[in-house]
Structure 1
Amino acid sequence: MNEYYTNNYTKYCKDVKFDFFDSYDFLFIFGRSISVVIIPIDIFGMYCIIKKTPKKLKTKGCLMYLQSLIIFLDILLTLCMTPYVYFPTCSGFTIGIFRSIGFPMIFQCFIAIVGISTLNFAVPIIFENRHNILVRSNFKITRKCSRILFYLFNVTLPFFCQLPVFLHIPDQIPAALEVLKRIPCPTIEYFQQPIFTLTLKYDVAMFSLSTTLFVAFIQILFFSIHSFYHLRKISNFASVKTQKLQKAVFSALSLQISVSTAILILPIFYFWYAFQFNYYRQGFTNISFLMIASHGCFATVTMLFCHKNYREYISSFFCKKKPRIDGLHSNTPSFQRTNISVQHVEPIRF
């Protein structure tokens, strides 16, 4: 590494300019800054789910599962890890608490990748829950053991999908030099920090990521479309109040997932483009990881303002009802108040 830095980097990369967005400092400062905002919001969202979710909604457990994953990943990516990755490779280092306490990089990568994949598979679980409530036909998962297997499938599949990536951990020094063939002029931190390369088999990494996204997307697509179809028929077996509640919950849930997905579209597209065309821009990578770290907070905010119970609870902090004061709440009968008022009226003198 020292030889490459002396003979190649200092000579051929001296004209390459990096700005603040490419730097270690940008990721460190903004990672810590957004954690102060997003983590309290996530925790408040969990409190609302626990305390303010109506029992008749029957979605509390699934929402708690999703929100717990959001809290875990937001803390992990902004405080515990804060990954500084050199895309389009699987190399980089972390600048969070885990590094300070000497937590091995391979375990940091495993927790982050499997955690993100698990969050991705939590969405089908929520949509299946609504699907099971809305659909009245036999075309749904009805048996308890079948639902347990469905949940187990979506909880464990992220582990097995990402496992192939961790079966090809290369020797680190040769791997670091191999990465320089793809990124000949990385930021100076590449030569100053302990670089960890997860894999050099980029096709395996892309296949694992694509499989995770595809399987989760197919499930979400089926449960959402089929639920929407039966939601239009809910008037055949439910009261008007129940219809309005189910439609409002489904719309709020769909909007929450849509906002979360929309935040992730840009980072996912950038990662795909970087791998496909060997494009390197450290600033874009840093911003992409900050967007991934904060997308759960946007989903939480959407949930709080879309669900009526949470929205009313929040508005109660700012719009407290004042006690009503009028004649109806007085202990004095109305006819006595009328007489009293008449007694104080002076006669008109001509």
Structure 2
Amino acid sequence: MATSTDLYYETVWKSKCSSNEKSFLASWQGLSLFSHSMLVVFLPFYAFTTYCILMKTPKTMDSVKFVLLNAHCWACYIDILVCSLITPYFFFPTISGFPVGLLRVFGVPTSVQVLIGLTSSMFMGTSLVALFENRSSCIPSNRFRITKKKSRFLYFLFNCTVIIGYLIPPFCNIPEQESAKLFLLQTIPCPTEEFFYTEVFVLTIDKFWYNYLWMATGSMVLILLFQIIFYSVCCIYYLYISTTAMISPKTRKYQRSFFLGTVAQVVVPFLFLVIPVGGLISSIYFDYYNQALNNSCVLFFSFHGFASTIIITLVHHPYRTFLFKVVTFDRSSGRSTFLSN
């Protein structure tokens, strides 16, 4: 039985939109090909950096080994989600789309994939908070340091619970999909043909839930960002400004070096998040639909984990030294290279 969207496709879309030229990048095949190809290139770098953290981290960095590995794994996992497991084909400026990744092949419902993608992105932010909290708590004179493992566990459990909790209400109010798709055609009257022959998932069309999603998600991002900034300020104050002599000059120099490396590890990849997200938010604000732009933003977003991996390897002295040895085929043992700059 023909649906309303089928009727729209046969009468309106074919007469007004079918003649529109569509680039290969705007198709789901283009998105899938480019994203999967990128992952093939990225995976060896992910593996190499993971090996460096596990096997080449010196004793002086034991306190940060776990949180560094945790942040690295989350960044890589997000890239793998975007490039291979989910690979979202968005129809911005609407909150709709469909996945073209492996999870779809395995029959995972699209709503579940959307929930996985949103929570995973937020958890990646929490892993960065943990990285900066670790740097802050390693400074003995810091009055804001968290000293008890139980307190730290409850602190991050609360963060994760809030992230999951704010997503539950909109997922309990998902609209009827066929009527929702027809409603979206008022905003994007000429979507790509994929809109009509795939199972497009519409998260919401209700104005209340639409505003709730943007405001709640924006608030969560700001809360995570505030925590990162707070711990960064603590590090800056106690490492560069405070004259309290509770650590030796050598230890202070080491902690300064690692703090700067941590900042670089976060700031540089952050650009690969801000640029595509900014582009998508702009398309929503101006009600501008361009499928090639949507797909380009997804692909650009995928460089986040790769950039993070490169920065980790380059800014931390033990990993950089090991990388140099691998590249130059240096097998000499030499003197220890496990001292930080």
Paired position in structure 1 for 2:338: none
Look up the SS of the partner of 2:121 in the other structure. helix
How many positions carry a matched residue from both structures? 324
Paired position in structure 2 for 1:245: 254
CA distance in 2, matches of 1:155, 1:61: 18
CA distance in 2, matches of 1:301, 1:159: 30
RMSD of aligned C-alpha atoms?
Answer: 1.9
The answer to whether the Cα contact below 8 Å between 1:83 and 1:95 also exists between their aligned partners in 2 is yes
Alignment match of 2:13 (pick from 4, 9, 14): 9
The answer to whether the Cα contact below 8 Å between 2:86 and 2:113 also exists between their aligned partners in 1 is yes
Paired position in structure 2 for 1:345: none
Q: Which moved more, 1:40-49 or 1:78-87?
A: 40-49
Deviation by residue 1:11-68 (Cα, 9 ceiling, x = unmatched):
2324533222212222011011001011221222122111112233211111121122
Paired position in structure 2 for 1:43: 47
Look up the SS of the partner of 1:238 in the other structure. coil
CA distance in 2, matches of 1:128, 1:20: 44
Are residue 70 (structure 1) and residue 75 (structure 2) matched?
yes
Q: Which moved more, 1:150-159 or 1:306-315?
A: 150-159
CA distance in 2, matches of 1:147, 1:159: 19
Alignment match of 1:229 (pick from 234, 237, 244): 237
Q: Which moved more, 1:64-73 or 1:220-229?
A: 64-73
The answer to whether the Cα contact below 8 Å between 1:122 and 1:154 also exists between their aligned partners in 2 is no
CA distance in 1, matches of 2:224, 2:118: 15
* Superposition deviation, residue 153 in structure 1: 2.0
> Which structure is larger by alpha-carbon Rg, 1 or 2?
1
Question: AA paired with 2:12?
Answer: N
Paired position in structure 2 for 1:290: 299
* Superposition deviation, residue 322 in structure 1: 7.8
The answer to whether the Cα contact below 8 Å between 1:42 and 1:71 also exists between their aligned partners in 2 is yes
Taking only the aligned residue pairs, the percentage that are identical comes to 31
Q: Which runs of 5+ in 2 are unaligned?
A: 334-341
CA distance in 2, matches of 1:239, 1:186: 63
CA distance in 2, matches of 1:61, 1:122: 11
Question: AA paired with 2:203?
Answer: L
* Superposition deviation, residue 320 in structure 1: 4.6
The answer to whether the Cα contact below 8 Å between 1:88 and 1:278 also exists between their aligned partners in 2 is yes
CA distance in 2, matches of 1:270, 1:217: 20
Are residue 205 (structure 1) and residue 213 (structure 2) matched?
yes
Alignment match of 1:310 (pick from 309, 314, 319): 319
Are residue 115 (structure 1) and residue 120 (structure 2) matched?
yes
Paired position in structure 2 for 1:190: 195
Paired position in structure 1 for 2:336: none
Look up the SS of the partner of 2:147 in the other structure. coil
Question: AA paired with 2:13?
Answer: Y
Look up the SS of the partner of 2:185 in the other structure. helix
Change beyond 3 A, Cα 1:181–1:318: same
CA distance in 2, matches of 1:79, 1:8: 34
Paired position in structure 1 for 2:151: 146
* Superposition deviation, residue 215 in structure 1: 0.6
The answer to whether the Cα contact below 8 Å between 2:141 and 2:246 also exists between their aligned partners in 1 is no
CA distance in 2, matches of 1:322, 1:121: 39
The answer to whether the Cα contact below 8 Å between 2:138 and 2:145 also exists between their aligned partners in 1 is no
Q: Which moved more, 1:167-176 or 1:250-259?
A: 167-176
The answer to whether the Cα contact below 8 Å between 2:72 and 2:308 also exists between their aligned partners in 1 is no
Alignment match of 1:170 (pick from 164, 167, 175): 175
Q: Which runs of 5+ in 1 are unaligned?
A: 325-350
Paired position in structure 2 for 1:254: 263
CA distance in 2, matches of 1:21, 1:323: 47
Scaled by the length of structure 2, what TM-score is found?
0.89
CA distance in 2, matches of 1:226, 1:238: 15
The answer to whether the Cα contact below 8 Å between 1:134 and 1:234 also exists between their aligned partners in 2 is no
CA distance in 2, matches of 1:323, 1:271: 50
Paired position in structure 1 for 2:35: 31
Look up the SS of the partner of 1:248 in the other structure. helix
* Superposition deviation, residue 218 in structure 1: 0.7
CA distance in 1, matches of 2:322, 2:332: 18
CA distance in 1, matches of 2:156, 2:8: 50
Are residue 299 (structure 1) and residue 303 (structure 2) matched?
no
